[in-house]
Chain A
Amino acid sequence: MTAQIAVFLVLAAVAVAGAISLILQRHPIHSALSLITVMVALAGLYLLQGAEFVAAVQIIVYGGAIMVLFVFVIMLLNAGEEERTNMSSMAHYVGVPLGVVFVIEMAYWIGRATLHMNARASGVVSTRDLSNLLFREYVFPFELTSFLILIALLGALVLARREESE
């Protein structure tokens, strides 16, 4: 077992454990922290694949901005523990095994279909190549994303604004 595979296994175990913890935790803040764990582990996996830029963006935007937004909203709404609803016994005894079977089936068939797929022997991707692609070939989609961000900003502002009483 090479060192790379060992690193992969550790990071994958952390990511899967975080995802399972996201499901099992009842308090939203614990779920949010589990999700941050998953995202940091995924950033490590991107580094392992030589995608440095994506790894940095993953940490900064996902781990930094988006999750801070989530934690901030949890704090703002003072979200408490998820109340236990009377989940019917059928949902409990049929739904949980079905969920487990779904995950295993998906992993099995995707793993089987791509078993013989080999990575091209390419070294570390340079961020310069990526930015050439992003700012030359994909410059219009890139500019469109700035419009998207602007519209999302306005939308969030309009939604969260307190209505003026008439």
Chain B
Amino acid sequence: MVPTSYFLVLSAVLFGLGVVAFVFKRNILTIFMSIELMLNAVNLAFVTFSRALGQLQGQVFVFFVIVVAAAEAAVGLGIVILIHRNRGTLNVERVDSLKD
């Protein structure tokens, strides 16, 4: 049986890579994808703890996280389409009208 800590380390690595992608990427769509990556890493931790503690609640939470992620993707991509229509770019560095 695979030790619990292996899964948690993988989860931490994926979450960290998601944070790094969130900070480094310039395209608003890729930034969205890195949020999904972080949510996936957290889901892995939930499932791992669910197995480690012998309780099913963790998997129920994963289900809710997936539902929320779906809702977030629908609304977020609507916002992305709106930004592209109004400003003609997907680069977050060019969406800076609040600076002025």
Chain A residues packing against B (C-beta within 8 Å): 2, 4-5, 8, 12, 15-16, 19-20, 22-23, 28, 31-32, 35, 38-39, 42, 45-46, 48-51, 53-54, 57-58, 61-62, 65-66, 69-70, 73-74, 76-77, 79, 82-83, 85, 95, 99, 102-103, 106-107, 110-111, 114-115, 117-122, 125, 129-130, 133-134, 138, 141, 145, 148-149, 151-153, 155-160
Q: Which residues of A contact B5 (CB under 8 A)?
A: 110-111, 114-115, 117
Please judge, given known A-B contacts A82-B25, A156-B74, whether A28 and B30 are in contact too, CB under 8 Å. Answer: yes
Partner of B74, one of A35, A106, A152: A152
Closest 10 CB pairs between A and B?
A159-B78, A103-B16, A152-B71, A120-B54, A156-B78, A99-B20, A19-B17, A111-B9, A156-B74, A110-B12
CA distance A51 to B51 in the complex (A): 9
Q: Chain B nearest CB: distance from A8 CB in Å?
A: 5
Q: Is the CB of B43 within 8 A of A125?
A: no
Q: Is the CB of A45 within 8 A of B44?
A: yes
Q: Is the CB of B70 within 8 A of A48?
A: no
Chosen A-B contacts, 26 in total, with CB atoms closer than 8 Å, are A19-B14, A31-B27, A35-B37, A38-B40, A46-B44, A49-B47, A53-B59, A54-B59, A57-B62, A62-B36, A62-B40, A77-B84, A82-B26, A103-B16, A107-B16, A110-B5, A110-B11, A114-B8, A115-B5, A117-B52, A122-B51, A130-B56, A148-B67, A152-B74, A152-B75, A158-B78
Q: Which residues of A contact B26 (CB under 8 A)?
A: 82-83, 85
Q: Is the CB of B10 within 8 A of A57?
A: no
Chain B residues packing against A (C-beta within 8 Å): 1-21, 23-27, 29-30, 32-34, 36-37, 40, 43-44, 47-48, 50-54, 56-57, 59-60, 62-64, 66-75, 77-82, 84, 90-91, 93
Count of inter-chain pairs, beta carbons less than 8 A: 230
Q: Is the CB of B30 within 8 A of A16?
A: no
Q: Which residues of A contact B30 (CB under 8 A)?
A: 22, 28, 31, 82
CA distance A4 to B2 in the complex (A): 6
Q: Is the CB of A110 within 8 A of B9?
A: yes
Please judge, given known A-B contacts A85-B93, A125-B56, whether A77 and B18 are in contact too, CB under 8 Å. Answer: no
Q: Which residues of B contact A70 (CB under 8 A)?
A: 29, 32-33, 73, 77
Q: Which residues of A contact B24 (CB under 8 A)?
A: 23, 95, 99
Q: Chain B nearest CB: distance from A147 CB in Å?
A: 10
Q: Is the CB of A102 within 8 A of B75?
A: no
